[in-house]
């Protein structure tokens, strides 16, 4: 039976008090903590009780944090020390098991597959319903099937193995009832491609760690890198204001406000995924101000790869069901063409492709759904864009419209820049450049002229120019002086016969 419940998204980093308090203040109930992250903060000289650290309403996913050990460039622990850390991990988890929603296995590769398998078997009768074995590509594909069969749930670190996309495989496992837990989840498309029972990620912390700006905008989770923050924050100002965020704090790199925005944005992403199965969840927002003074030493995890194809094998379709793609249409011209059988010329219909003004857009999924005056649930788009560009005049009219539209945008952005205090907006500067480029293209289109360039080479024979233009191409006589002639010969040529020569 396919797992059909809502995906639970656990915000990682809750071992750090500042982040833990922020998540609680933002109304986040599903949180995750890293055991190795916690070890960097405490020596466990006193009992570290989840009941004392977390609100009773919060659900806790415990990750062993072995990902950092497995991916470390240098070996930090010897086998004995790492084995002792493993034993303490399980003792600590079991001492807090009443507050633990799920906990992952201690999957340190250094200890070997045999030790991991022995530990899995020892946990079969002890809180087995909360144990999540971990699979990675290094274990091989057969190990994924084995873990799914034996445990009924598995934590997945990668969705590709040896260049093979595993999304179809994971979907097949989920359809058979296996609960899949996505760990170190960073890619929204991967989150939506598989029916995960849960996913956990530290990616929401990247604004604090790397200076990114994460925002849910136009039904997408967008992650702008630090180098694009000025343009991004100008562009998304309306999103910030509409959803109650302090624009000035965001533009001034206030870490708390950027993290609040990130929490809200990731929550919207989870809600959007769950709405597809009609089992949406909500994350209320409580607007408290906190100071961030600590950073998680773990980098933002990310092992999952972008989905390239979602279906392993295509099923052949009945040819009678095939249709022309909806936004294409055809005009037909009458032309006389020779019939190859009869040799006679006949009138035939010759198709010419054109774009339909209609659209496949559906109101429910349109990014303008919340603001569109013609929104109607379950309907296709009410707006047509009828444009025909076949002649020079039609092309010129379109270019005029583009220039005018861009000019309107530039002038409106200038007004917005003045209203915000006159600080130079880099987005406005780029749009001004774009307007200049459009105007230059329009000017070039309107220019008419004719030019002919002839290039010829000669290699001791009659030149190409001589062949085309005759002697007009022979410039040699222009550079030679005539030899002196006798006066009598000149007079004779002029028709002067009897004349006195004055000396």
Q: In Å, how far are 70, 268, 416 from 272, measured between CA atoms?
A: 33, 6, 32
Residue 372, both tokens: 């569109």
pLDDT at 285 over 50: no
Other C-beta atoms lying within 10 Å of the C-beta of residue 472: 9
Helix (H) or strand (E) holding 174: helix 167-175
Q: What pLDDT does residue 290 have? A: 41
When comparing pLDDT for 289 and 262, which is higher? 262
- DSSP secondary structure code for residue 379 in this structure: P
pLDDT at 289 over 60: no
Q: Which residues contact 12 (CB under 8 A, 6 or more apart)?
A: 31, 32, 33, 34, 63, 200, 201, 202, 204, 205
Q: Which residue is associated with the tokens 């204001």?
A: 241
Q: What pLDDT does residue 281 have? A: 43
When comparing pLDDT for 465 and 18, which is higher? 18
Measured CA to CA, the distance from residue 148 to residue 134 in angstroms comes to 10
Contact of 360 with 326, CB cutoff 8 Å: yes
Burial track 347-363 (b if 16+ CB lie within 10 A, e otherwise) = eeeeeeeeeeeeeebeb
Give the residue among 102, 95, 166, 93 at the shortest CA–CA distance from 134. 102
Per cent of the chain over pLDDT 70 is 80
Per cent of the chain over pLDDT 90 is 45
Q: In Å, how far are 96, 310, 334, 349, 356 from 331, measured between CA atoms?
A: 72, 36, 10, 9, 11
pLDDT at 299 over 80: no
pLDDT at 10 over 60: yes
Model confidence at 77, pLDDT cuts 50, 70, 90, reads: very high
pLDDT digits (tens, 9 = 90+) for 325-341: 777 777 788 888 888 88
Rama region for 269: left / alpha / beta (φ>0; ψ in -120 to 50; rest): alpha
Q: In Å, how far are 13, 18, 128 from 184, measured between CA atoms?
A: 11, 21, 23
Mean pLDDT across the chain: 82
| CA distance from start to end of the chain | 131
pLDDT digits (tens, 9 = 90+) for 163-172: 788 899 999 9
pLDDT at 151 over 70: yes
pLDDT at 467 over 70: no
Other C-beta atoms lying within 10 Å of the C-beta of residue 305: 16
Q: What is the mean pLDDT of residues 285-303?
A: 38
Q: What pLDDT does residue 180 have? A: 95
Between 3-7, 104-108, 217-221, the lowest mean confidence (pLDDT) is in 3-7
Q: What is the dihedral of CA 419, 423, 425, 429, to 10 degrees?
A: 110
pLDDT at 300 over 50: no
Helices (H), 253-293: 255-275
Q: Which residues contact 348 (CB under 8 A, 6 or more apart)?
A: 334, 335, 336, 337
The CA-based angle 12-14-20, given to 5 degrees, is 130
Q: What pLDDT does residue 190 have? A: 86
Q: What is the mean pLDDT of residues 438-459?
A: 74
Q: Which residue is associated with the tokens 């991916």?
A: 71
pLDDT at 384 over 90: no
Model confidence at 462, pLDDT cuts 50, 70, 90, reads: low
pLDDT digits (tens, 9 = 90+) for 179-201: 999 998 878 888 888 999 999 99
Q: What is the mean pLDDT of residues 102-109?
A: 95
Q: Which residues contact 285 (CB under 8 A, 6 or more apart)?
A: 26, 27, 244, 260, 264
When comparing pLDDT for 101 and 121, which is higher? 101
Model confidence at 153, pLDDT cuts 50, 70, 90, reads: very high
Q: What pLDDT does residue 279 have? A: 44
Q: What pLDDT does residue 19 have? A: 95
Measured CA to CA, the distance from residue 204 to residue 210 in angstroms comes to 11
DSSP assignments along 295-329, one per residue: --SSPPP--------S-SSPPPPPGGG----TTEE
């Amino acid at each position: 039976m396919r797992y059909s419940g809502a995906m639970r998204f656990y915000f990682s980093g809750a071992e750090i008090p500042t982040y833990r308090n922020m998540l609680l203040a933002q109304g986040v109930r599903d949180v995750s903590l890293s055991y190795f992250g916690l070890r960097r903060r405490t020596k466990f000289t006193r009992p570290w009780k989840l009941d004392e650290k977390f609100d009773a309403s919060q659900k806790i996913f415990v990750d062993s944090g072995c990902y950092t050990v497995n991916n470390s460039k240098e070996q930090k622990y010897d086998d004995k020390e790492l084995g002792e850390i493993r034993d303490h991990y399980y003792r600590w988890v079991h001492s807090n098991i009443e507050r633990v929603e799920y906990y992952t296995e201690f999957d340190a590769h250094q200890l070997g597959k045999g030790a991991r398998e022995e530990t899995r078997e020892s946990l079969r009768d002890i809180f087995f319903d909360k144990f999540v074995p971990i699979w990675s590509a290094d274990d091989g594909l057969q190990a994924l099937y084995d873990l799914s069969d034996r445990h009924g749930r598995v934590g997945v670190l990668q969705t590709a193995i040896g260049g093979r996309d595993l999304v179809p495989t994971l979907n097949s496992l989920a359809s058979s009832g296996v609960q899949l837990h996505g760990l170190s989840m960073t890619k929204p498309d991967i989150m939506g491609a598989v029916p995960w029972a849960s996913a956990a990620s530290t990616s929401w912390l990247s604004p604090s760690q790397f200076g990114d700006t994460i925002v849910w905008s136009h039904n997408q989770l967008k992650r702008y890198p630090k180098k694009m923050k000025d343009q991004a924050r100008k562009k998304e100002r309306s999103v910030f204001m509409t959803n109650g965020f302090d624009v000035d704090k965001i533009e001034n790199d206030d870490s708390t406000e950027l993290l609040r925005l990130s929490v809200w944005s990731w929550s919207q992403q989870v809600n959007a995924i769950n709405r597809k199965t009609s089992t949406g969840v909500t994350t209320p927002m409580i607007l408290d101000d906190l100071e961030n003074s600590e950073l998680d030493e773990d980098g933002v995890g990310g092992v999952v790869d972008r989905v390239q194809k979602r279906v392993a094998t295509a099923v052949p379709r009945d040819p009678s069901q095939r249709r022309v793609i909806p936004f294409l249409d055809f005009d037909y011209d009458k032309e006389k063409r020779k019939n190859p059988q009869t040799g006679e010329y006949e009138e035939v219909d010759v198709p010419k492709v054109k774009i339909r003004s209609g659209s496949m857009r559906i109101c429910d999924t349109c990014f303008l759904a919340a603001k569109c005056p013609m929104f109607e649930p379950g309907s296709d788009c009410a707006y047509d864009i009828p444009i025909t560009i076949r002649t020079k005049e039609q092309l010129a009219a379109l270019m005029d419209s583009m220039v005018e539209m861009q000019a309107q945008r530039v002038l409106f952005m200038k007004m917005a820049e003045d209203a915000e205090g006159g600080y130079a907006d880099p987005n406005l500067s780029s749009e001004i450049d774009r307007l200049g480029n459009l105007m230059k293209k329009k000017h070039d289109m309107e220019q008419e002229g004719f030019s002919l360039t002839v290039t010829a080479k000669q290699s001791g024979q009659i030149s190409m120019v001589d062949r085309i233009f005759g002697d007009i191409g022979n410039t040699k006589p222009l550079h030679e002086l005539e030899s002196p002639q006798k006066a009598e010969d000149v007079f004779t040529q002029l028709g002067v016969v009897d004349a006195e020569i004055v000396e």
